[in-house]
Amino acid sequence: MYSRGNDTLRKIITFFLAFFLLALICAGQLYANPPASKDLKQLKNRIKALQKELASKETSKTEAADSLRESERAISKINRILITLAQQLIDANISLDQLSEQSKQIQSKIKMQQEQLGKMLYYQYINGQQDYMQLLLKQQDPNQIARNLHYYGHLKRARSENINTLRAQLEQLDLLTRESHTKREEIVKIQSEQTKKKQQLEQEKMKREEILANLSEEIIQQQREITKLKSDEQRLSKLVEEINRLLSQKKPTPQKPAPQKSPPPATDKFTQPSHHNNLLPDSSASGRSFESLKGQLRLPVRGELVNRFDSPRQEGGIKWKGLFIRSQNGNEVKAIASGQVVFADWLRGFGNLMILDHGNNYMSLYGYNEAIYKRVGDRVRSGDTIATVGNSGGHRESGLYFELRHQGKPFDPLIWMIIE
Parallel, antiparallel or unpaired: strands 339-347 and 379-380: antiparallel
Per-residue pLDDT at 257:
43
**By C-alpha distance, which of 343, 336, 324 is closest to 391?**
324
Q: For residues 364 and 403, give the distance between their C-alpha atoms in angstroms, rounded to a whole number.
A: 6
Contact 346, 352 (CB under 8 A): yes
Per-residue pLDDT at 199:
82
Per-residue pLDDT at 302:
96
Per-residue pLDDT at 17:
44
Cβ count near 106 (within 10 Å): 18
Q: For residues 229 and 223, give the distance between their C-alpha atoms in angstroms, rounded to a whole number.
A: 10
Q: For residues 370 and 373, give the distance between their C-alpha atoms in angstroms, rounded to a whole number.
A: 10
Per-residue pLDDT at 262:
36
What's this model's pTM, rounded to 2 decimal places? Answer: 0.51
Q: For residues 301 and 366, give the distance between their C-alpha atoms in angstroms, rounded to a whole number.
A: 10
DSSP 67-101: HHHHHHHHHHHHHHHHHHHHHHHHHHHHHHHHHHH
Per-residue pLDDT at 32:
44
Per-residue pLDDT at 355:
92
Contact 111, 196 (CB under 8 A): no
Q: For residues 361 and 33, give the distance between their C-alpha atoms in angstroms, rounded to a whole number.
A: 64
Per-residue pLDDT of the chain in tens (420 residues, 90 and over written 9): 444 444 544 444 444 444 444 444 444 444 444 455 666 566 566 666 766 776 776 677 677 677 778 877 877 887 888 888 788 878 878 877 887 787 788 778 777 766 766 666 566 556 544 455 555 555 555 666 566 656 666 666 776 777 778 778 778 778 878 887 887 788 888 878 878 877 877 777 777 777 767 767 776 776 676 676 566 556 555 655 666 566 566 545 444 444 433 333 333 333 445 689 999 999 988 888 999 999 999 999 999 999 889 887 654 446 788 899 999 999 999 999 999 998 888 887 788 999 999 988 899 999 999 999 999 899 999 999 999 999 988 788 999 999 998 888 889 999 999 987
Q: For residues 404 and 76, give the distance between their C-alpha atoms in angstroms, rounded to a whole number.
A: 24
Per-residue pLDDT at 174:
82
Ramachandran region, residue 408 (left: φ > 0; alpha: ψ -120 to 50; beta: rest): left
